[in-house]
Structure 1
Amino acid sequence: MKDFSLADVRLFIKAVELGGLTLAADVLDVPKASASRQLQRLEASVGHVLLHRGAARFALTEEGRQFFETAVDMLRAVDRAMSSLYADERALTGRLRIAAPTYAGRQLLAAHLPDFMAAHPQLQLSLELGNGHVDLFRDEADVLLRLGREGCEELVARRLATVPMLLCASPAYLGRSAAIVTLSDLAGHAFLIGGAHRRVGEMTVPTVGQPRSIAAATVLHCNDPDLLLALARTGRGIALVPAALAAEALEKGELVAVLPFVPLAEEEINLVFLPGRRNSRKIRAFVEYLLDATQAERPAGIRQIS
């Protein structure tokens, strides 16, 4: 067995966790063109094929399974050792400004910020929760949580989690029209959705694989899912909201799931920062901490994926 690169091991572990080399390369900011070469180099170093990979199959070999179990422990030990070497002599100072949508911020930050603050007592945190647009280029924040990938083209985006989504409406609203049995039955309804305004009179249902465009009577766009939920309760239309946020209203019978058997694409939550600040110690520490923390403890209604 030859010596191997820790970067290659990290890529292999992440590919196994996410189920694909492309996803792993994206999360680790590795050029997709080199990801396959890194895996081949690792396999050459250990002397075994570690992954079956092809158009229809991506799975560990028996040797890959054995190596994966040991490699995860090894990499965690190395990361802990490196962190302990620099924790005291390179304490983080200054101010870190964090911005996040209200819902995502409450779900992902409330449980984990106390430990981060305790680990870095000399670092001053500024946290702003809201549903307005935050412009990193105007220096309005150092790092932000953003729903979806739209607008991230010129930024570094680390996928943190995915949020299961749900179509729902009040019994009173649904009682005013014919039963909704198929996607086509959604035509002509009023919709309450987040995100930016697109085509007038059209609703895009984010079905898995291929989003479906539906002719709508009206579409109300709002970047506050709590408000969308409140409007749905009053019978103003069919809302597309995080499933966990609607759970209590569903249980009370205030809302009813619409087409619950139709799988909807989950909404991404990304940690985003400027490329020029990739080497900022305070940003890197926060991003890596939150990725690790949410992997260890998943908030209700949000599935960690990185």
Structure 2
Amino acid sequence: MDRIDAMRAFVAVVTEGSFSKAAITMQLSPQLVSKYVAKLEEELHTRLLNRTTRKVSLTEAGSQYFTHAQQILLSIDEMASQLGGLQQHPKGVLRISAPVSFALKHMAKLITDFQDRYPSVTVDLQLSDRKVDIVEEGFDIALRIGQLQSSSLIAKQIAPIRVVLCASPEYLKAHGTPKQLEDLESHRYLHYSYMNVETKGQIYKYLKTKQFKERSVFHSNNGDVLVEAAIAGGGLILQPTFIASEALSTGKLVVVLPEYEPSPLGLYAVYAHRKLLPHKVRCFIDFITNYYGTPPYWDENI
């Protein structure tokens, strides 16, 4: 027996004055209402109602229980109403984890525009290139870049992420422009430390070989630093265009071996549950889905 349903039946009988009227109010049969109340009394080991053929009346215990039951049901209904309000009008704290470079370059305006539309949502944006455990660490959403492996999490692709090999014109003038993959052996390479995912493409396969990584002259776990080093003439870099697009569009960097450009990665919004998704999460996913455009705005001028 559902205790709440039984409690509602009891309160309805008292309020309406009879089992038949309570049944009409609850859209149940009088027999089921009577069964609910009887089971409630059985579980409480107390008679709550005195029944006659003409009317029902509260016992002393029933009077006390009625007062408390009303308060409990009111609290439950208020809570349901508040939660329903969250679904209709998103509010509360939305915790998001995002990669450092992407967030620094492309999320400040996104968050501002999102909060203009949904002013009752407070955003807590945490930047990390580490793969966070969104459930254990209490995040609503994580933005991730790569070719995601299957998991119990839900992942929605937001935008394609191009990755290009590039260098400064000054560096290429001094060291020559590679014409084929084997030419890379004579070049300086600025290595991104987190480039360890299984990614399709001959350039990835070549640059991830142990011998080539050992010849890398600069290692960093941050793509922005590597882009700046490449602009300064430090060597070749393999980086996503969302970091390098400005340098590429202004000629500070130029693409090398474009015919070997690897398949695009993806920017994904990852979250834990598809059913009963909080409205604040659903609104953010819907908002970001078309925000960056197709192709993304950072690829339009390169």
Report TM bin, short chain: 0.5 to 0.7
Distance 1:237 1:278 in 2: 50
Report the CA distance between 1:161 and its aligned residue: 0.3
Offset, 1:222:
3.4
Residue matched to 2:165? 167
Matched, 1:114 2:112: yes
Structure 2 CA distance for partners of 1:88 and 1:295, relative to 1, 3 Å: farther
| Higher helix content, 1 or 2 | 2
Q: Does 1:213 align with 2:206?
A: yes
Q: Is the 8 A contact 2:166 2:255 kept in 1?
A: yes
Find the aligned partners of 1:287 and 1:150 in 2 and give their Cα distance.
18
Map 1:66-105; keep pairs closer than 5 Å.
Answer: 90-105=88-103
1:263 shift after superposition: 3.1
In the alignment, is residue 237 of structure 1 matched against residue 235 of structure 2?
Answer: yes
TM-score w.r.t. the length of structure 2 is 0.57
Of 268, 271, 274, the match for 1:270: 268
Higher mean alpha-carbon deviation, 91-100 vs 248-257, is at 248-257
Question: How many aligned residue pairs are there?
Answer: 213
Q: Residues 141-180 of structure 1 correspond to what in structure 2 (within 5 A)?
A: 141-150=139-148, 153-175=151-173, 177-180=175-178
Once residues 245 and 295 of structure 2 are traced to their aligned partners in structure 1, the CA distance between those partners, rounded to angstroms, is: 20
DSSP-derived class of the 2:194 partner:
coil
Amino acid at match of 2:297: P
Query: Distance between the aligned counterparts of 1:205 and 1:181, measured in 2?
Result: 22
1:222 alignment counterpart: 220
| Cα 1:287–1:223 shift into 2, 3 Å | farther
How far is the alpha carbon of 1:179 from its aligned partner? 4.0
Q: 1:112 to 1:297 in 2, by over 3 A?
A: farther
Say if 2:245 and 2:299, in contact at 8 Å, map to a contact too.
no
Secondary structure (helix, strand or coil) at the match of 1:218 reads: coil
CA distance in 1, matches of 2:120, 2:222: 34
Secondary structure at 1:138 match in 2: coil
How many angstroms apart in 2 are the aligned matches of 1:115 and 1:256? Answer: 33
Determine helix, strand or coil for the equivalent of 2:206.
Answer: strand
* 1:105–1:145 contact (8 Å) kept in structure 2: no
Unaligned runs of 5+ in 1: 1-85
Per-residue CA shift, 1:68-93, capped at 9, x if unaligned? xxxxxxxxxxxxxxxxxx98982223
Alignment equivalent of 2:286, drawn from 279, 285, 288: 288
Matched, 1:125 2:123: yes
Question: Helix, strand or coil for the counterpart of 1:265?
Answer: coil
Shift of 1:213: 2.2
2:167–2:255 Cα contact (<8 Å) kept: yes
- Superposed CA RMSD: 3.7
Deviations 1:23-56 (A, max 9, x none): xxxxxxxxxxxxxxxxxxxxxxxxxxxxxxxxxx
Taking a change above 3 Å as real, the CA distance of residues 137 and 94 of structure 1, as seen in their structure-2 partners, is: same
Counterpart in 1 of 2:17? none
Structure 1 stretch displaced more, 159-168 or 271-280 = 271-280
Q: Distance in 1 between matches of 2:288 and 2:280?
A: 12
Q: Post-superposition shift, 1:221?
A: 4.7
User: Which one has a bigger Cα radius of gyration?
Assistant: 2
For residues 173 and 91 of structure 1, the distance between their equivalents in structure 2, rounded to whole angstroms, comes to 54
The CA deviation string for residues 238-293 of structure 1, in whole angstroms up to 9 with x for no partner, is 11123354344345554332113433322211101124776233222211222144
Residue type of the alignment partner of 1:207:
G
Task: Describe the shift of the 1:269–1:252 C-alpha distance in structure 2 as closer, same or farther (beyond 3 A).
Answer: closer
Q: Give the drift of 1:229.
A: 0.5
- Which residue number in structure 2 is paired with residue 23 of structure 1? none
SS of equivalent residue, structure 1 residue 112? helix
Aligned counterpart, 2:81: none
For 2:229, give the aligned amino acid. L
Task: Classify the secondary structure of the residue corresponding to 1:187.
Answer: helix
Amino acid at match of 1:238: L
Opposite residue 99 of structure 1, the aligned amino acid is S
**AA in 2 matched with 1:283:** V
